[in-house]
Structures are given as C-alpha cells and as structure tokens.
C-alpha cells in the first residue's frame, strides 16, 4: 500500500486525484483464521492492529455487523484525557493518550490529534477537594495534571462565566496534554493499517452464533457462513451482553444511550475542552467551528442511537449558565451511542468462561479516549494470555469485590 505524503498529494493533484487506491480491502471471508475480532470499531480495529504490529499475528478477521466505525466510534465527542484517580485506570488511559500523540505517524494517516488541553471544572467545595486529590494521585502515577484557580480558568477559556449564580467556577483540574482527535479518522487509520498487514475487514456481516467444542471456541456463525478460528475477541460495546449470551456466558453490564449534539458552526471562540460535572455537561469546538456538546447517559436501559428532546434541553440548560455565549446558537444535529456500563464504571478486558474467547467491553462513556491503550492491552492478552495493563480489569473482580470505582472517584462516568 502506498504511503501518504506531501509528494503523493501533489502527484495526485496533477492527475485529478484519479490514482488513489482504496484505503482497505473488502475481501471474501476465508474458512479459517487464527483470530476473529467481532466489532470493527476503534477498539476492535486497534486490537487487530496491535496483534499484527506487536505480536506478529496477522491471520486475523475483523467482522462488523454494519459499516466500519459506524457505532460508538463515530458517535462520540472525541475527548482524550487520562486524569483518572485509580491506578489501573490512569495507567491504561495514559498509555492510550501517549499512543495518540504519535498515532498519525504510526498509521501514516492523519487522525487530527489536537492536544488542546482538558479542564474539569470545580464548582463546589467538594469538587475542589476531589480534584486536588486526583492531582496528587496523578503526580504519583506520572500523569501530568494540576489544579488551577478561577483566574487561570478564565485565561484559558475566555467565554466561560466563572461567577455563575448557582455554581460559580472555583477552579479546575487541568491536563494540558489532553485534547481531541478526529473519531472517524482513528477508525479509518487503523483499518487501513490492518488491511495493509493482510488482515480481512468484513463489513455488513452479522455474527449470529458462536460454535464451541469441549468448552473451547471453534468459530462463529455469520450471515456469510461459518468462519473458523482458534481465538475470538468480542469487542462490540453496547451489544456485548448479546454476543456473550450467544457464546454461552453472561456479563455484568447494562446498555444505555449517551447523547450528544453539535451547534451551527461559528468563528473560533474556544480552544480547550471543558467538562462541568456539577451541572453535567461538557463542550469543545470542532475544527469546523461547531460547538460539540455532551451530557450524562440516559437513566434507563435502551439500545437507541437517536437523541431525545428532553435530554438536549437538560444538557443545554446546564451549559448556558456557564457559557452564556451559546444561548443564541442553533442546534445542527444530535445523536446517541449505545454505551455499556459496568457496576464500577470501569472496563472489562478479560478471558471468559469459554476457552479461547476474550472480551473487551464496559468502557461506558469513556471509550474513545482509551482506544489505543485498550487495543494494546487486548492484543497482548489474546497473544500471551496476560497483559499488565489489563490485569486489574478481569471479570473475576466483580465476584471478588475488587472494584475499580471511577464513578465515585471522578464524580462522573466520562
């Protein structure tokens, strides 16, 4: 596969851009693979990529029910950060953040990573104590964060109202090297690199069953026939419970919708990401000028990928007080993603009761920021049977009571 470069762009411009080849192949499935990954979102594609790059396992198929990156990978607010309290969380998210910094070069594909910084507002005395605690924990973990005062918040984000009538801004947890990336480009870049290694990305193909013999996986039944494999990775986010049931075991997760919206594009007014957890809203500005806005997950289990007016109204009402400038903006579009929640709001990267089946799920509302680290850990687990990054995220922690409770630690599940 040709490398992308400035020279290639100039050459194709002279040819009216008729010489570009397809970014990835659309092959006919083979009868047998060493590894099958179910789910061609960011986490599934990253798993396949690091299986090939780090472990030399390239006889791999990535099977997707819909289209590549059409699930949560293309339905999020693109925030990347690693300022988590618990050590296992900080380790895997910081691994992901550091991989994001060089991912465009690694994949030879511009993922538009923007280390613009993320601040999490402290709008109550309780939040001040919590974020100071997190800043101290991050210092011990080697994650560069700091607690900043209201004046610095205003300097970094001039459009913010730090003297709100209900919840004034008292400070913020600031991670300068956090930021955003282009969600579609992350999926496309990984897919292109996987295809270049000879892996098969099979779209519009549903896995309808899992075949086992003697307690071990032998392959999957699909709408394109049976595909054999010796190892199976389930990486399907909100549909993880459905796939686990087909494989013969249960997962401690629930699926809910997480909604987001964007405004009409306006001139650049905000070059940081701001999360306001007290009122439960967060916002950044895209490269196209849209204000990207998100809030909390729905309060009931569902599988919808659409927005709802009451949730939009609740989120925007909360943010207008902190960002009065957005009160006159028109909403351009809004959507939902199906997120998978565990009881402690931390992921599952684990072996399963079925020999040869591995599962990567439970990322809840924080999946996009973890993609490279998640893929790295899942690939190592599948290739070697153990991964230091994934060790604390096994399914057995729920039976043993070893919770990694980020919902309480951060006050928010994002």
Cβ-based neighbour number of residue 386 at 10 Å: 10
pTM value surpassing 0.85: yes
The two tokens of residue 41 are: 């979102």
Span 133-144, average pLDDT: 96
**The length of the chain, given as a count of residues:** 414
| Topology given in CATH for the domain delimited by 29-82+84-109+183-251+345-410 | FAD/NAD(P)-binding domain (3.50.50)
Tell me whether strands 79-80 and 207-213 are parallel, antiparallel or unpaired: unpaired
Q: For the chain, how big is the Rg over CA atoms in Å?
A: 21
At 407, which helix (H) or strand (E)? helix 406-410
Span 204-216, average pLDDT: 96
Cβ-based neighbour number of residue 384 at 10 Å: 10
Mean pLDDT comparison of 13-27, 46-60, 287-301, highest-scoring range: 46-60
Q: For all residues of the chain together, what is the average pLDDT?
A: 93
Widest CA span of the chain, in angstroms?
65
Per-residue pLDDT at 297:
83
Span 120-148, average pLDDT: 96
Per-residue pLDDT at 353:
96
192-207 pLDDT, tens digit per residue, is 999 999 999 999 999 9
- Residue 203 near residue 40 (C-beta atoms within 8 A): yes
Span 8-20, average pLDDT: 90
pLDDT surpasses 90 at 302: no
State the Cα–Cα distance between residues 307 and 44, nearest whole angstrom. 25
Span 3-26, average pLDDT: 90
Q: Point out the least confidently predicted range of 39-53, 101-115, 392-406.
A: 392-406
* DSSP, res 328: G
SS3 of residue 402 by DSSP: coil
Per-residue pLDDT at 1:
80
Q: Hey, where are the domains in the chain?
A: 29-82+84-109+183-251+345-410, 118-178+255-342
Per-residue pLDDT at 278:
86
240-279 pLDDT, tens digit per residue, is 999 999 999 999 999 999 999 999 999 999 999 999 988 8
State the Cα–Cα distance between residues 152 and 158, nearest whole angstrom. 10
> Where would I find the H helices in 142-298?
150-156, 183-196, 240-247
Span 217-243, average pLDDT: 96
State the Cα–Cα distance between residues 182 and 190, nearest whole angstrom. 13
> Locate tokens 């931390």: which residue?
346
Q: Which residues of 321-352 are buried (b: 16+ CB within 10 A; e: fewer)?
A: bbbeebeebeeeebbbbbbbbbebbbbbbbbb
Q: Point out the least confidently predicted range of 15-19, 118-122, 143-147, 149-153.
A: 15-19
- Residue 103 near residue 49 (C-beta atoms within 8 A): no
Dihedrals phi, psi of 355, to nearest 5 degrees: -60, 130
322-375 pLDDT, tens digit per residue, is 999 999 999 999 998 999 999 898 999 999 999 999 999 999 988 999 999 999
The two tokens of residue 330 are: 């028109």
Tell me whether strands 179-180 and 200-202 are parallel, antiparallel or unpaired: unpaired
| Topology given in CATH for the domain delimited by 118-178+255-342 | D-Amino Acid Oxidase; Chain A, domain 2 (3.30.9)
Task: Give the DSSP letter string of 61-94.
Answer: EEE-SSSTT-SGGGSS--EE----SSHHHHHHHH
State the Cα–Cα distance between residues 227 and 208, nearest whole angstrom. 11
Per-residue pLDDT at 411:
44
pLDDT surpasses 80 at 410: no
Interacting residues of 50 by C-beta distance below 8 A, sequence separation 6+: 375, 376, 378, 379, 380
Strand partners for 340? 255
Q: Which of 163, 90, 78, 161 is nearest to 116 (CA)?
A: 78
State the Cα–Cα distance between residues 222 and 38, nearest whole angstrom. 11
State the Cα–Cα distance between residues 155 and 170, nearest whole angstrom. 14
pLDDT surpasses 70 at 414: no
């Amino acid at each position: 596969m040709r490398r992308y470069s400035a020279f290639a762009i100039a050459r194709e411009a002279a040819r009216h851009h008729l010489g570009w080849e397809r970014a990835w192949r659309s092959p006919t499935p083979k009868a047998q693979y060493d590894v099958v990954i179910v789910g061609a979102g960011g986490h599934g594609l990253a798993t396949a990529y690091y299986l090939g790059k780090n472990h030399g396992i390239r006889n791999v198929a990535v099977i997707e029910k819909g289209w590549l990156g059409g699930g949560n990978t293309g339905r999020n607010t693109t925030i990347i950060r690693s300022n988590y309290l618990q050590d296992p969380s900080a380790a895997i998210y910081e691994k992901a953040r550091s991989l994001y910094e060089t991912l465009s070069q690694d994949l030879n594909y511009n993922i538009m990573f923007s280390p613009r910084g993320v601040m999490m507002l402290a709008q109550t005395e309780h939040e001040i104590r919590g974020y100071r605690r997190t800043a101290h924990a991050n210092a011990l973990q080697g994650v560069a964060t700091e607690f900043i005062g209201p004046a610095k918040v205003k300097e970094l984000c001039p459009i913010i109202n730090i003297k709100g009538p209900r919840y004034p801004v008292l400070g913020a947890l600031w991670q300068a090297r956090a930021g955003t990336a282009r969600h579609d480009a992350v999926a496309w870049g990984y897919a292109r690199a996987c295809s270049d290694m000879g892996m098969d990305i099979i779209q519009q193909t549903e896995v309808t069953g899992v075949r086992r013999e003697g307690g071990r996986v032998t392959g999957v039944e699909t709408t394109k026939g049976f595909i054999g494999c010796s190892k199976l990775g389930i990486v399907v986010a909100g549909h993880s419970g459905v796939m686990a049931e087909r494989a013969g075991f249960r997962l401690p997760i629930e699926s809910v919708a997480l909604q987001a919206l964007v405004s009409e594009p306006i001139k650049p007014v905000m070059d940081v990401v701001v999360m306001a957890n007290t009122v439960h809203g967060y916002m950044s500005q895209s490269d196209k000028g849209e204000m990207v806005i998100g809030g909390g997950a729905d309060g009931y289990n569902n599988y919808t990928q659409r927005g709802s007016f009451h949730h939009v109204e609740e989120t925007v009402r909360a943010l207008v007080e902190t960002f009065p400038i957005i009160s006159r903006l028109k909403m351009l579009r809004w959507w939902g993603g199906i997120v998978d929640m565990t009881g402690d709001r931390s992921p599952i990267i684990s072996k399963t009761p079925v020999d040869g089946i591995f599962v990567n799920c439970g990322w809840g509302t924080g999946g996009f920021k973890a993609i490279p680290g998640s893929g790295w850990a899942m690939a190592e687990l599948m290739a070697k049977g153990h991964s230091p990054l994934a060790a604390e995220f096994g399914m057995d922690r729920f039976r043993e009571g070893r919770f990694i409770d980020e919902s309480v630690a951060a006050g928010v599940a994002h």
